[in-house]
Amino acid sequence: MEATLVRVSKRLSRVLRHAPESVGISLDPHGWVPVDDLLTALARHGATVSVEQLHEVVAGNDKQRFALRTGADGVTWIRASQGHSARVGVDLGLAPVAPPEVLYHGTPTVNVTSIMATGLHPGRRQHVHLSVDVPTALAVGRRRSGTVAVLTVRAGLMAAAGHVFHRSANGVWLTTTVPAQFIRH
């Protein structure tokens, strides 16, 4: 993705996942906002984004971080697929889904001791994010600096113990917390 589109993607992530108020918009309870409202608000705050750029970012994002939908009235809406801050409080409307037996979580190795002691917690986000395979978990873990560890989460056992899982539109598995007893390093 070219540099301009990367900047647009980062700005969209910040606004749609963490700080809609930074450009003066409000998300509906499910995280959606009309595209026209978003683009107008971004322009008012010095970030002019064209409809074409927005569509390129949505289509070209390898992690499929954004979703578009068009209502019966012809209005096109956008939202982030997951990763919202807890303070934003978006209900993605995802039904509980039985997870695979194992899922993975990539993290800098410096975090492993703490995670093995206390489990995985969402931090400032609403959910812990888990990957379906090791390569994806490695890629997620590499976003931070340092050596990456991939932890195995025994999701099937968690579900059997009553923990709820959701799968976002882009394939990321979400749960509120992962207790340490379900994690293997």
pLDDT digits (tens, 9 = 90+) for 124-134: 788 899 999 99
Rg for the chain, CA atoms, rounded: 17
Question: For residues 60 and 140, what is the distance between their CA atoms, to the nearest angstrom?
Answer: 18
Please indicate, yes or no, whether residues 108 and 151 belong to a single structural domain of this protein.
yes
The answer to whether 179 and 121 have CB atoms below 8 angstroms apart is no
Token couple for 163: 């923990």
At residue 90, does pLDDT exceed 90?
no
Q: Which residue has the higher pLDDT, 163 or 91?
A: 163
User: What is the dihedral sign for C-alpha 159, 164, 167, 173?
Assistant: negative
29-83 pLDDT, tens digit each: 888 999 999 999 999 999 899 999 999 999 887 678 899 999 889 999 999 887 7
The answer to whether 17 and 80 have CB atoms below 8 angstroms apart is yes
At residue 1, does pLDDT exceed 60?
no
Cβ-defined contacts of 164-168 (< 8 Å, 24+): 164/96, 165/96, 165/97, 165/98, 165/99, 166/92, 166/94, 166/95, 166/96, 166/97, 166/127, 167/94, 167/97, 167/99, 168/81, 168/82, 168/92, 168/94
Please indicate, yes or no, whether residues 75 and 145 belong to a single structural domain of this protein.
no
Q: The domain spanning residue 57 has which CATH number? A: 1.10.10.970
* pTM exceeding the 0.85 threshold for the entire prediction: no
Q: What percent of the chain has pLDDT over 90?
A: 64
Total tally of structural domains belonging to the chain: 2
Please indicate, yes or no, whether residues 108 and 74 belong to a single structural domain of this protein.
no
Look at residue 83 in the predicted model and tell me its pLDDT.
Answer: 72
Q: The domain spanning residue 147 has which CATH number? A: 3.20.170.30
Please indicate, yes or no, whether residues 120 and 60 belong to a single structural domain of this protein.
no
Please indicate, yes or no, whether residues 72 and 127 belong to a single structural domain of this protein.
no
- Residue 14: partners with Cβ closer than 8 Å, 6 or more residues away: 22
At residue 85, does pLDDT exceed 80?
no
Q: What percent of the chain has pLDDT over 70?
A: 96
- Average pLDDT, stretch 99-117? 96
Please indicate, yes or no, whether residues 126 and 178 belong to a single structural domain of this protein.
yes
pLDDT category of residue 86 using cuts at 50, 70 and 90: low
Token couple for 78: 């956008």
State which residues form the domain around 171. Answer: 103-184
Asked whether residue 117 is assigned to any structural domain, the reply reads yes
Please indicate, yes or no, whether residues 75 and 111 belong to a single structural domain of this protein.
no
At residue 87, does pLDDT exceed 80?
no
- Residue 136: partners with Cβ closer than 8 Å, 6 or more residues away: 104, 106
Q: Which amino acid is at 27?
A: L
Nearest to 174 by CA among 109, 80, 108: 80
pLDDT category of residue 157 using cuts at 50, 70 and 90: very high
Please indicate, yes or no, whether residues 135 and 179 belong to a single structural domain of this protein.
yes
Please indicate, yes or no, whether residues 8 and 49 belong to a single structural domain of this protein.
yes
Asked whether residue 94 is assigned to any structural domain, the reply reads no
Q: Which residues pair with 150 in a beta bridge?
A: 106
